[in-house]
Chains A and B, each alone.
Chain A
Amino acid sequence: MALMMLTEAIARYVRDGQSVALEGFTHLIPFAAGHEVIRQQRRNLHLIRMTPDLIYDQMIGMGCASELTFSWGGNPGVGSLHRLRDAVEKDWPQPLKLHEHSHAEMAVAYTAGASGLPCGLTRRHADTDLAKVPDARVKAIECPFTGDSMTAVGAINPDVTILHAQQVDAAGNVLIRGIVGAAKEAAMAARALIVTVEELVEQLDADMNAIVLPDFLVTAVAVVPGGAYPSYAQGYYSRDNAFYMAWDDIARDRQRFRDWMERHVLALPDQAAFLRELQVSA
């Protein structure tokens, strides 16, 4: 098992200019890992995520990214991701090139990537402008059997996928449960897989059909309790909806955002200190 400190995992496997997917659909978002990427000042990343969420708002605002592949970029139930918007609308802190899809397209793109296929398929949705944007990675094709109209979506194969999960066992197998989003597909599509987990256990608490990533798929594991906060880990702690609402004000202003990141991320060594600073843990 490639158990190591998170700092070492990011230092070793995440490089400037790579395509990096931090997945987890609302649930199990790897915030601790994202913060470590910010601390280590990675630049010109091509970030990939269905829902950029606060973690990409932070990474974009701190200048880690030059490209973004995504399908829905808001603060769920709250409003805009102000740092994402500022990058797109005003090029601050740098221009951000967008590749956008629908959720369904991204789901099949990850699945294709995980399956060793060059593209995934959906039944064609009725005409929209999404297929017409510059560099759209979708093409209309015809089914060779029925003639039905379909959309081919270019596969997504991130250089690195980073997940947060509940448990790793002594052999290095990883358990994910609850809302799983496209985490498994993003993991299987990647060239390298880094996972942070809530805890190391002797034996996984897993049903026979649970989502387990066997150890040989996992490049590096780091034990980071609370590593998904302010997202959540089913069975461990819940989503901090109050924090998500508070983020709207913090991120609205460039200076306030920078100050907040300086104090809560850059000035602190790790997630444990971050949780103490926010008084989430004792």
Chain B
Amino acid sequence: MKESGYTADEIMTVTAARQLRNGAVCFVGIGLPSAACNLARMSHAPGLVLIYESGTVGTKPSVLPLSIGDGELAETAVCVVPLPEIFTHYLQRGRVDVGFLGAAQIDRYGNLNTTVVGDYSKPKVRLPGAGGAPEIATHAREVLIVMKQSPRSFVPRLDFRTSCGFLDGAGHRRASGAPGRGPRVVVTDFGVLQPHPENDELQLTGIYPGVTVEAVRAATGWPLKVADTIEQLSAPNPAELVCLRDLHARTEAAHAHRVKI
């Protein structure tokens, strides 16, 4: 932080936000995806349409929600619909452009595990589970993934496949009939990975300032392939950092507020 002037979370959030084009309909998860989507909406993509799975459509929160269903999301939404409609009329019907996912584990084909570490029936770590992810991964036109990169999270073999990326790769997803195109980009704390156009395997396509290819390889649990040309991704600019830090400061103040009835 001292040397670069920004944190790993900040460059991940800014890099993810830059992936979002104005006007896209985006299905948002809590945490970093929510920060990235709102940063994009407050900067280069004011027309970004945010849908949270709680049923809030076109919401414009001024502070980040802690949960997927904070009142702030409902109060600033174009409409609030029953939850079954979000998954059927919006997502399944093909009305979501971008799905935004994270996970505890990812494999080289962008498949995700949010269910268990270890054996399902006797798990070492019981994770929260599927939530909306399997259908988001299937139906959104494209998927953005945001995850910190380490050999424990970027694994050669998932303990459990909760949500699909490219399945076994090499066109397997397309052949399965999944309507969405699958993961377009994985944003990590080292840079970005993107699927190879033919065999679908994730390869390193961009790195942040000061990051080496060797460091990214060491943080990956499989022999990571590297694209022929690697983009040097730019650091967060001052305007992005101010916007993001203001957003987090407003959020922190709001969440610390004790409720009185």
| Interface residues of A, Cβ cutoff 8 Å to B | 25-27, 50-51, 70-74, 76-78, 80-81, 84-85, 88-89, 100-104, 107-108, 110-111, 122-130, 133-134, 149, 178-182, 184-185, 211, 225-226, 229-230, 232, 234, 236-245, 275, 280-281
Interface residues on B, range: 35 or more
Q: Nearest Cβ in chain B — how far from A131, in angstroms?
A: 10
Q: What are 7 A-B contacts defined by CB distance under 8 Å?
A: A72-B129, A76-B69, A126-B177, A149-B177, A179-B73, A185-B84, A280-B259
Chain B window 142-185, contacts with chain A (Cβ cutoff 8 Å), 1 for yes, 0 for no: 00000000000000000011111001000001001111000000
Q: Does any Cβ of A come within 8 Å of B24's Cβ?
A: no
- Who on chain B is nearest to A26 by CB? B69
Q: Given the known A-B contacts A103-B132, A107-B83, A107-B84, are A76 and B66 also in contact in the complex, defined by CB atoms under 8 Å?
A: yes
A236→B260 CA distance, assembly (Å): 10
Which of the candidate stretches B39-47, B86-94, B207-215 sits at the interface with the other chain?
B86-94
Q: Does any Cβ of A come within 8 Å of B137's Cβ?
A: yes
A76→B128 CA distance, assembly (Å): 10
* A100→B130 contact, CB < 8 A: yes
Q: Could you say which of A51, A107, A128 has the most chain B C-beta atoms within 10 Å of its C-beta?
A: A128
A37→B260 CA distance, assembly (Å): 25
Q: Given the known A-B contacts A107-B87, A179-B80, A239-B67, are A70 and B129 also in contact in the complex, defined by CB atoms under 8 Å?
A: yes
Q: Given the known A-B contacts A88-B123, A130-B130, A133-B120, are A125 and B70 also in contact in the complex, defined by CB atoms under 8 Å?
A: no
A108, A149, A211, A232: which contacts B84 (Cβ < 8 A)?
A108
Q: Does any Cβ of A come within 8 Å of B230's Cβ?
A: no
Q: Nearest Cβ in chain B — how far from A272, in angstroms?
A: 10
Q: Does any Cβ of A come within 8 Å of B71's Cβ?
A: yes
When distances are taken between beta carbons in the complex, the residues of chain B under 8 Å from A243 are: 259
* A108→B88 contact, CB < 8 A: yes
* B88→A102 contact, CB < 8 A: no
A70, A89, A108, A239: which contacts B71 (Cβ < 8 A)?
A239
When distances are taken between beta carbons in the complex, the residues of chain B under 8 Å from A88 are: 123, 126
When distances are taken between beta carbons in the complex, the residues of chain B under 8 Å from A110 are: 84
Q: Given the known A-B contacts A126-B138, A127-B176, are A107 and B88 also in contact in the complex, defined by CB atoms under 8 Å?
A: yes
The B79-114 residues at the A interface (CB cut-off 8 A) are 80, 82-84, 87-88, 91-92
Q: Does any Cβ of A come within 8 Å of B23's Cβ?
A: no
Beyond A25-B68, A72-B132, A128-B130, 10 extra complex contacts between A and B, CB < 8 Å: A74-B127, A103-B87, A103-B132, A125-B137, A126-B177, A181-B83, A182-B83, A184-B82, A238-B70, A245-B255
Q: Given the known A-B contacts A107-B83, A107-B84, A240-B258, are A77 and B65 also in contact in the complex, defined by CB atoms under 8 Å?
A: yes
When distances are taken between beta carbons in the complex, the residues of chain A under 8 Å from B31 are: 77
Q: Does any Cβ of A come within 8 Å of B200's Cβ?
A: no
When distances are taken between beta carbons in the complex, the residues of chain B under 8 Å from A27 are: 54, 69, 71, 74
Q: Could you say which of A26, A126, A244 has the most chain B C-beta atoms within 10 Å of its C-beta?
A: A126
- Who on chain A is nearest to B75 by CB? A234
Q: Does any Cβ of A come within 8 Å of B133's Cβ?
A: yes
Q: Given the known A-B contacts A178-B80, A244-B67, are A89 and B135 also in contact in the complex, defined by CB atoms under 8 Å?
A: no
When distances are taken between beta carbons in the complex, the residues of chain A under 8 Å from B83 are: 25, 50, 103, 107, 180-182
Q: Given the known A-B contacts A89-B125, A127-B164, are A240 and B55 also in contact in the complex, defined by CB atoms under 8 Å?
A: no
* A180→B55 contact, CB < 8 A: yes
* A77→B82 contact, CB < 8 A: no
Q: Could you say which of A25, A111, A182 has the most chain B C-beta atoms within 10 Å of its C-beta?
A: A25
Q: Does any Cβ of A come within 8 Å of B115's Cβ?
A: yes
A207→B53 CA distance, assembly (Å): 24
When distances are taken between beta carbons in the complex, the residues of chain B under 8 Å from A103 are: 53, 83, 87, 130-132, 135
Q: Nearest Cβ in chain A — how far from B185, in angstroms?
A: 19
Q: Given the known A-B contacts A123-B92, A180-B82, A225-B261, are A76 and B68 also in contact in the complex, defined by CB atoms under 8 Å?
A: yes
When distances are taken between beta carbons in the complex, the residues of chain A under 8 Å from B55 are: 25, 179-181
* A102→B132 contact, CB < 8 A: yes
* A234→B125 contact, CB < 8 A: no
When distances are taken between beta carbons in the complex, the residues of chain B under 8 Å from A181 are: 54-55, 69, 82-83
When distances are taken between beta carbons in the complex, the residues of chain A under 8 Å from B236 are: none
- Who on chain A is nearest to B69 by CB? A26
- Who on chain B is nearest to A88 by CB? B126
When distances are taken between beta carbons in the complex, the residues of chain A under 8 Å from B133 are: 102
* B66→A244 contact, CB < 8 A: yes
Q: Does any Cβ of A come within 8 Å of B256's Cβ?
A: yes
When distances are taken between beta carbons in the complex, the residues of chain A under 8 Å from B256 are: 242
A184→B125 CA distance, assembly (Å): 33
Q: Given the known A-B contacts A103-B132, A107-B87, are A126 and B178 also in contact in the complex, defined by CB atoms under 8 Å?
A: yes
A107→B130 CA distance, assembly (Å): 13
A244→B255 CA distance, assembly (Å): 10
Chain B window 197-221, contacts with chain A (Cβ cutoff 8 Å), 1 for yes, 0 for no: 0000000000000000000000000
* B66→A78 contact, CB < 8 A: yes
When distances are taken between beta carbons in the complex, the residues of chain A under 8 Å from B227 are: none
Q: Does any Cβ of A come within 8 Å of B56's Cβ?
A: yes
